[in-house]
């Protein structure tokens, strides 16, 4: 059963967050970057009585089964800029950025995850020759753990739920470890904000792929980062109606 809630408490967009083209310029320098397909589904449109239904296919982003590396990579880069005390020397490919970060080693990236975000952080650590420490909650499937470990990460199962896993990952913060979580807590907002900014690449790609602005945009919500990016982009650049989607069994945004 589908339940639709109308948000009557909308207000002006905050000045503390804004999507931009800066992340896409960064992503274009990463190995295997290519815009993902925007798939036209005429049979779905016909069944629903709509003019067009387009689906952004993120199942092969950077050769991974999700879009999460967009956020993890940009958040890692912004975190490294702070650690380094400024932007690294101009670079055009990942080997040059890796060399610019050599002074930090030994260095690690850490994250809490229930799957794809942690794998993305592990991939970024591998690209930079950093250690990856990924924490997952009890009950995480063996397949997800194996996928994370396939990126060279150390995967630790935390005795608890996702919130307990986030708390455990936060303990890794040090001069030699940058925590890349996609959810915030007091005094930890820069990284999750950068994760959401990184997802803006999806939206700029859509703008270039579409011949006209959409009337309605459906966005899966999850932890909220993609929803935040989509809200900011489409509210600033179009008159589209935004619809957030989440399963009834895990309606985190609704509960929040």
Report, as residue numbers or ranges, the catalytic residues. 68, 114
Sequence-ordered list of residues with C-beta below 8 angstroms from that of 159, at least 6 positions apart, any chain:
138
The tokens for 200 are 């803006």
Round to whole Å and give the CA distance between 63 and 34: 10
Kindly list the distances between the CA atom of residue 95 and the CA atoms of 87, 130, 146, 154, in Å, as whole numbers in the listed order.
Answer: 16, 13, 26, 23
* Cβ-contact 221, 228 below 8 angstroms: no
Round to whole Å and give the CA distance between 175 and 194: 20
Which stretches within 85-189 are classed as H helix?
A: 94-100, 116-127, 142-149, 162-170
Counting every residue written for the chain, the total comes to: 256
Round to whole Å and give the CA distance between 216 and 222: 19
Residue 149 C-alpha from the chain's centroid = 19
Cis peptide bond upstream of 232, omega within 30: no
Round to whole Å and give the CA distance between 195 and 124: 13
Query: No. of H helices and E strands in the chain?
Result: 11, 8
The tokens for 33 are 């970057």
């Amino acid at each position: 059963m589908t339940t639709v809630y109308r948000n009557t408490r909308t207000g002006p967009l905050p000045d503390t967050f804004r999507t931009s083209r800066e992340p896409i310029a960064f992503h274009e320098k990463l190995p295997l970057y290519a815009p993902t397909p925007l798939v036209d589904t005429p049979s779905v449109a016909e069944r629903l009585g709509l003019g067009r239904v387009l689906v952004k296919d993120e199942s092969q982003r950077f050769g991974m089964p999700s879009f999460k590396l967009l956020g993890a990579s940009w958040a890692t880069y912004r975190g490294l800029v702070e650690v380094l005390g400024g932007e690294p020397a101009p670079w055009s490919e990942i080997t040059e950025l890796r060399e610019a970060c050599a002074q930090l080693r030994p260095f690690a990236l850490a994250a809490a995850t229930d799957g794809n975000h942690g794998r993305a952080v592990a991939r970024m650590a591998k690209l930079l020759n950093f250690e990856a420490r990924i924490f997952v909650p009890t009950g995480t499937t063996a397949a997800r753990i194996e996928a994370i470990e396939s990126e060279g990460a150390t995967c630790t199962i935390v005795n608890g739920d996702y919130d307990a896993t986030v708390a455990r990952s936060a303990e890794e913060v040090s001069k030699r470890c940058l925590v890349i979580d996609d959810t915030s807590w007091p005094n930890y907002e820069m990284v999750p904000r950068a994760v959401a900014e990184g997802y803006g690449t999806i939206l700029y790609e859509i703008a270039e792929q579409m011949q006209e602005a959409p009337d309605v945009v459906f966005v899966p919500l999850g932890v909220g980062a993609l929803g935040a990016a989509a809200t900011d982009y489409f509210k600033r650049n179009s008159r589209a109606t935004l619809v957030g989607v989440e399963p009834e069994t895990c309606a985190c945004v609704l509960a929040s």
